[in-house]
Chains A and B, each alone.
Chain A
Amino acid sequence: MTRFILRRLVSSIFVILIIITASLWITRQAPSNPCLKERESNTCACVKENSLDLPVFPIYTEIPISPVAECQMWEKSSGFELGPVNVLGPGQWGETQYFTYVGTLASGSLGQSMKTDLSVWETLSAGIPFTFQLGLQALFIALLIGIPAGLVAGLKQNQIQDYSLMTVAMLGVSIPNFVLGPVLIMLFSLELGWFAAVGWDSWWDSVLPSITLGLYYTAYIARLTRGGMLEIVRQDFIRTARAKGLAEQVVVVRHALKGALLPVVSYMGPAIAAMLTGSVVVEEIFGLPGVGKEFVRSALNRDYNVVLGTVIMYSSILVILNMVVDVVYTWLDPRVSYD
C-alpha cells in the first residue's frame, strides 16, 4: 500500500512537471511575446499593446491603470522573480531558463504579476477562499442529491420515479451553467429578491452560485449512480444475497451500494477538474472575486504570469486529488491490486 502511494506520488510529480513544461512552451509560442518586443526596442511595447488592445468584450469595466504607471512598475522589478515571460531575452529560452523557473516554483513562488505590483500568489490567494467554498458546496450538493436520486432511479428502473428523475437529470446535464446562472438570478434575485444578484456578503448569497455550479454534477452523478446500480443489481451476487433471505434494504445498502458507487468515485477526479473550470464562469456571472475571475481577467489582459501560475496551481491540486481518488478507489474495491 505504502509502495503504491509512493509510486503514485512520483508519477504525480512527473505529471506536474509535464504540465509546467507544456504551459511554458505554449506561453513561449506567443507570436507577439510582449516582453521580447519590450527588450528589443527598449520601450514599453508590451504595456502599450495591452492597454490599446484590450478585448472589445465588455465584461470588464474596470479602468486599467495608466500605461505609464504600469510600465514603471514593470520596469522596476526584474530577474526571475517576475516569472518566466518577463525574463526571457531573445535566444535565452533554454534549459537554463526552464530550470530557473522550475526552481522558482519549487521554492514556492509563482512569480510576479505583469500588470500589478502584486505577486501571482498574492493575486490568486485572495480568491482562493471563495473558489474553495464555492467548489466544496457545489460538490456537496452534487453528492448529497445526485447519489440518492441515482439510487432511487436505479432501483425503480423503468418506473415513474426513474423516468422523472432521469428527465430532470438530462435537463441538468444539458443546461449550461452560464444559462442557468442568469436565469436563476433573474428569477430569485431580480424577481423575488431572495438573494443578492451580485457579490457575496453572507453565506446565504453563496447558495445560488453553488447550485448553479453544482447542478450539472448533481445530474451527472445521478446518472452515473443509476448506471452503476443497474449494473450491480443484475449481478449474480445480488441474487445470492436475496436468496439468503436478506431484507431488501440490507441487499441494497450492504451488497449493492459499494459497487454501485465505484463509478462515482472514479468520476471525482474529472469532476473536480471540471468544477474548477466551471467556477470560472460562475464567479463571472455572480461577480465573485474568486480565482477563476482573476484567471479570466489575466487571460484577457495577457498577464501570462498569473495565467501560468493558475494553470500550474490548479493542475497540481488536481494531480494530487486524482492520486487521492485512486488510493480511495483501490481501498474500496478489494479486487484491484496495488500494482
Chain B
Amino acid sequence: MSDSKPEEGTQLEQGTSLWIDALRRLRKNYAAMAGAAVVLFMGFIAIGYEVLSASVTHFTLDEQHPFVAPKPPGARSVPIVHYDLMSTTGEWAFEKVDANGDGVITDREVQQAYWRQEFRTLDEDSDGSLSYGEYVRAPLSLPPPSEFSTDCNKWAMVRVSLAPIENQDIFLCDAGDDGRISFEEAGKLVEVITIGEARSVMALKDANEDGELTPQEYGGFPAPRVNLIGTDQLGRDLLTRLIYGARISLAVGLIATLVSFLIGVTWGATAGFVGGKVDNLMMRIVDIMYGLPFMFLVILLISVFQTRSLFLLFMALGAIQWLTMARIVRGQVISLKKQEFVEAARCIGTPSAAIIFRHLIPNALGPIIVYSTLTVPAVMLEEAFLSFLGLGVQAPLTSWGALASEGRQNMEAAPWMIIAPGLALAVTLLSMNFLGDGLRDALDPQLRKD
C-alpha cells in the first residue's frame, strides 16, 4: 500500500505538463528529429553565408569565372575575393611565370601559368601528357550528348567554344600522333581562366596599374579552388549561390509566415472572441477567399508594381496564407473562451484585448505552432514558384527558386544547375513537413493512438 501511493502521485504530476509530454513524443519521432536537424543545418548555412563564402567555397555570390559552359562539379576556378596566395617557388617562381623572360609578367603569361598548373593537376602520372583515362577524368570533359557525332572536322569547328567531350574519337581528334594529349593540344580542357580573369588576378598585385608585374610587385597568385557543385552559366560558383539562396528562401519563408501569422491570429481571435454576426461575416470571408486563385492576384500585383522588392514579396505571400491560421485560431478561441478561467478573468474586469492576448492565445498555441511550421514550407514553395517564373527574387539577389529557374534554362548541358537547388529545396521542404507533422502528432496524441 505504502509503496504504490507515491508512485501514483508522481504519475499524475507528469501527466499535467502537455509540453514536456509532447517533447518526449517528438523525440521518439525520428523523421521529425531528422527534419529538425536538417532545418537547423539550413538555418546555420543561411546565417553563415559570409563565413562559408570566405572559408569553405572561397567564392562570392557574384564573381564570374566564365568559361565555355557552366562548369561541372569538380571543375576549378580562381577566386578573386577570398583567396590564398600560392607560394612563389617551383612552378610559380617569377622566372617560370615570366615565360618569355622579359622581366615582367603579362596577363597572357598569368593565364598560361594557370593553364599549365591545371595541366599538371590533370596529368596524374606526371609524364607530361594526358592519356585517355586522364582526359576522361578531367572535370571539364563533358559526357557526350545523345545526338553527338564524332566527325573530327565538325569537332574542330565547334571546339573553340566547347569543352572537350568524353569520347574516344574526340580524344583522338585532339591528341597528337602519339595518341596522347600534350599541353599544347589540351585546349579547353585546361583553360580554367580567361584572359579577363587573368587581368583581374594581376590587378590584385599591380600597384602601378600598368598591366605588367615586376618581380617586386609579384608576390604569388590566388590558388585555384574547386567549384564543388559546379558553376552556373556565368561561371558563378553554384554552392556559394545555393548558400546565399538558402538565406533568401528561408527569410521569405519565415517573414511571410510571420506576416500570415499576425494577420491570421488577429483575424481568427477577433472572430472567435467577438462571435455572433461579426464572426459569421469574418469566417464567410475566409471561406470565400479559400477557393480563390491568389497566386494570380499576386502575379498581377507584382507585374503592376514593377519593383520586385523583397518586402512586397513578404507581404503578398504572407497575405494569402493566413486563412487556415485564422480558422484554427478561431476554433481554439471558441473552445477556450467557454472555459472557467476566462470567466474568472472577465469577472475581475480584465479588458477584452488582455483576455485575448494573455489568456487565450497562449492556450491556443499548440495548433498554431504546428500550422506555422507547416506554413513555412508552403510559403517557400510559393516564393520559389514566383522566382521560377521570373516574378520573384531578382538579381543580384537569388533564391533557390531563381536558381532552379536558371537551371532549367541549361537543363540539358548542365543538369547539376537544376539538381542542386531542386534537391536543396526538396530536402528542406521535406524536412519542414516532417517536422511539422511530427509536432502535430506530438501535440495531438489522439491522432496517433488507437
Contacts and interface: CB of A to CB of B under 8 A. Distances in A.
Direct contact of A and B (CB under 8 A): yes
Interface of A: 11, 15, 19, 22-23, 26-27, 29-32, 53, 55-59, 170-171, 173-176, 178-179, 182-183, 185-186, 190, 193, 230, 234, 269-270, 272-273, 276-277, 280-281, 284-285, 295-296, 298-300, 302, 304, 307-308, 310-311, 314-315, 318-319, 321-322, 325
20 contacts: A19-B292, A30-B304, A170-B430, A170-B434, A176-B425, A179-B404, A182-B408, A182-B411, A183-B422, A186-B411, A190-B146, A230-B447, A270-B290, A276-B293, A277-B293, A299-B303, A300-B303, A314-B293, A315-B292, A319-B291
B293 A190 contact: no
B333 to A, nearest CB: 22
Interface string B382-396: 001100111100010
Contacts of B293: 273, 276-277, 311, 314-315, 318
Contacts of A190: 146, 411-412
Contacts of A56: 395
B93 to A, nearest CB: 45
A174 B291 contact: no
B300 A27 contact: yes
B306 interface: yes
A308 B300 contact: yes
Contacts, number: 158
Contacts of B412: 186, 190
B240 interface: no
A314 B381 CA distance: 21
B442 to A, nearest CB: 16
B148 interface: no
B373 to A, nearest CB: 14
B385 A176 contact: yes
Interface in B397-432: 401, 404-405, 407-409, 411-412, 415, 418-419, 421-422, 425-426, 429-430
B296 to A, nearest CB: 5
B376 to A, nearest CB: 12
Q: Which 4 A-B pairs have the closest CB atoms?
A: A179-B422, A57-B390, A322-B291, A174-B430
B306 A186 contact: no
Nearest to B423: A179
Contacts of A270: 290-291
Contacts of B385: 176, 178, 277, 281
Contact of A273 (B291, B390, B395): B291
A2 to B, nearest CB: 21
Interface string B298-319: 0111111111000000000000
B319 to A, nearest CB: 12
A304 B303 contact: yes
A198 B224 CA distance: 39
A203 B381 CA distance: 29
A26 B300 contact: yes
Contacts of A302: 303-304, 306
B297 interface: yes
Given A19-B292, A179-B421, 7 more contacts: A27-B304, A31-B306, A57-B390, A273-B294, A296-B389, A315-B293, A318-B293
Given A26-B301, A56-B395, A176-B426, A295 B390 contact: no
Contacts of A321: 291
A295 B296 contact: yes
A285 B422 CA distance: 14
A297 to B, nearest CB: 10
A23 B300 contact: yes
B418 A176 contact: no
Contacts of B381: 176
Contact of B296 (A182, A272, A310): A310
B409 A58 contact: yes
B404 A29 contact: no
A70 to B, nearest CB: 18
Contacts of B257: none
A277 B299 CA distance: 10
B60 interface: no
B372 interface: no
A15 B299 contact: no
Given A170-B434, A173-B433, A176-B385, A296 B299 contact: yes
Contacts of B434: 170
Contacts of B418: 179, 182-183
A285 B302 CA distance: 21
Contacts of B278: none
A177 to B, nearest CB: 8
